[in-house]
Amino acid sequence: MDRSPAPLPPVGLGTMGIEEPEPIATALEVGYRHLDTARIYGNEGVVGEGLAASDVERADVTVATKLWIDALAGDDVGPTARESAERLGVDRIDLLYVHRPRGAYDPATTLPALDSLVDAGVVGAVGVSNFEIDDLERAREVLDAPITAHQTELHPLYHRPELLEHAREHGYPVVAYSPLAGGKVRAVEEVVEIAERHGTTPEAVAIAWAVAKDPVVTIPKASSERHLRANLAAADLALGPDEVAAIDAIEREEELYPE
Ligand SMILES: NC(=O)c1ccc[n+]([C@@H]2O[C@H](COP(=O)([O-])OP(=O)(O)OC[C@H]3O[C@@H](n4cnc5c(N)ncnc54)[C@H](OP(=O)(O)O)[C@@H]3O)[C@@H](O)[C@H]2O)c1
């Protein structure tokens, strides 16, 4: 079985809080090819409707969802993943994440259950989210399938270089979530200054800064067509090394999703 993951584009769509199919369909129309949802967001059905409404080839889109911490016991993984696939209206979840290594998560049973889903073709690839280095190491030991992505919080007010280092060393991408710090980047002085210099927005600078890092792709959430287009285009904004370093050096730390 081919377990090689499709490469993720630099900018995908975060869908947390999207409760109508329209922004999903619009996103696909304007060029998004990676949709990120989760069981806990309660919108897998909406994402599925948006996908079904679009003319984009299903095979060209990476559909990612996540198993919440109450569904990670070995026996629950299969049935819960199949429910997600059904809500999404897909035969195969391209990328299925462990949302957090908490609750019912037990690497010895959760991860083999994920491997079985890959073998059965219900899941294309396995991802993890909100893992620490020791969680990543344990997962690498237990999983048959490679870790295909680590989804972790990354924005100008919170980033973890050691997680990027681990990803580089082991050859999987980091999917940066909340790249706009949930909207707070527009008030971060260093980011605003750089945006003014480039005649663009702080949101575009935050996205460009994230994807300038190796091996990072990102999934800003946006609802309006204007934001959807602007975020996709932001991947082409080239920041200078000094600008990247200035954002790296911001000391004000704000983790939006701590334990
Ligand atoms: N794995 C995890 O534990 C985890 C945790 C949190 C989030 N995530 C994922 O990451 C995704 C993104 O994170 P997030 O939703 O927390 O926040 P975010 O992407 O950092 O920020 C989204 C906010 O920024 C606004 N926005 C988007 N584009 C903009 C632009 N160009 N100009 C001005 N404002 C803009 C959005 O408004 P509009 O909607 O009005 O456009 C929304 O209010 C989530 O949707 C989810 O898929 C994963």
- Mean of the pLDDT values across residues 238-243? 98
Question: Which residue is associated with the tokens 């994807």?
Answer: 211
| pLDDT score recorded for residue 3 | 45
| pLDDT score recorded for residue 259 | 80
Q: Supply 167's token pair.
A: 């990803």
Each residue's pLDDT tens digit, 160-181? 999 999 999 999 999 999 999 9
Of 39, 42, 31, give the one whose Cα is nearest residue 9: 31
Q: Is the predicted pLDDT of residue 45 greater than 80, yes or no?
A: yes
DSSP strand E in 130-248: where? Answer: 147-153, 174-177, 216-218
> Cβ(250)–Cβ(188) under 8 Å?
yes
Q: How far apart are CA 37 and CA 55, in angstroms?
A: 20
Active site residue 97: no
> Cβ(106)–Cβ(138) under 8 Å?
no
Q: Is the predicted pLDDT of residue 15 greater than 50, yes or no?
A: yes
Q: Is the predicted pLDDT of residue 5 greater than 90, yes or no?
A: no
| pLDDT score recorded for residue 1 | 43
Q: Is the predicted pLDDT of residue 90 greater than 90, yes or no?
A: yes
Q: How far apart are CA 35 and CA 21, in angstroms?
A: 12
Q: Is the pTM value of this prediction over 0.85? A: yes
Q: Is 177 in the pocket of ligand 1 (CB under 6 A)?
A: yes
Query: Which residues on adjacent β-strands are paired with residue 11?
Result: 218
Three-state DSSP class for residue 251: coil
179: CB partners within 8 A, 6+ apart = 154, 155, 206, 207, 210, 218, 219, 220
Q: Given the CA of residue 224, which atom of ligand 1 is nearest to it? A: 41
pLDDT-above-90 percentage for the chain: 97
Span from the CA of 212 to the centroid of ligand 1 (angstroms)? 19
Each residue's pLDDT tens digit, 179-191? 999 999 999 999 9
pLDDT-above-70 percentage for the chain: 98
Q: Is 65 in the pocket of ligand 1 (CB under 6 A)?
A: no
CATH class of 13-180+216-222: alpha beta
Query: Which residues on adjacent β-strands are paired with residue 175?
Result: 151, 217
Identify the sign of the CA torsion 93, 159, 185, 130. Answer: positive
| pLDDT score recorded for residue 246 | 98
Span from the CA of 116 to the centroid of ligand 1 (angstroms)? 32
Each residue's pLDDT tens digit, 94-143? 999 999 999 999 999 999 999 999 999 999 999 999 999 999 999 999 99
| pLDDT score recorded for residue 103 | 98
- Mean of the pLDDT values across residues 231-236? 98
> Cβ(217)–Cβ(8) under 8 Å?
yes
pLDDT band at 200 (very low <50, low <70, confident <90, very high): very high
Q: Is 64 in the pocket of ligand 1 (CB under 6 A)?
A: no
Query: Which residues on adjacent β-strands are paired with residue 218?
Result: 11, 176
Q: Given the CA of residue 181, which atom of ligand 1 is nearest to it? A: 20
Q: Given the CA of residue 177, which atom of ligand 1 is nearest to it? A: 10
| pLDDT score recorded for residue 2 | 47
Tell me which of 41, 105, 172, 177 is the catalytic residue. 41
| pLDDT score recorded for residue 159 | 97
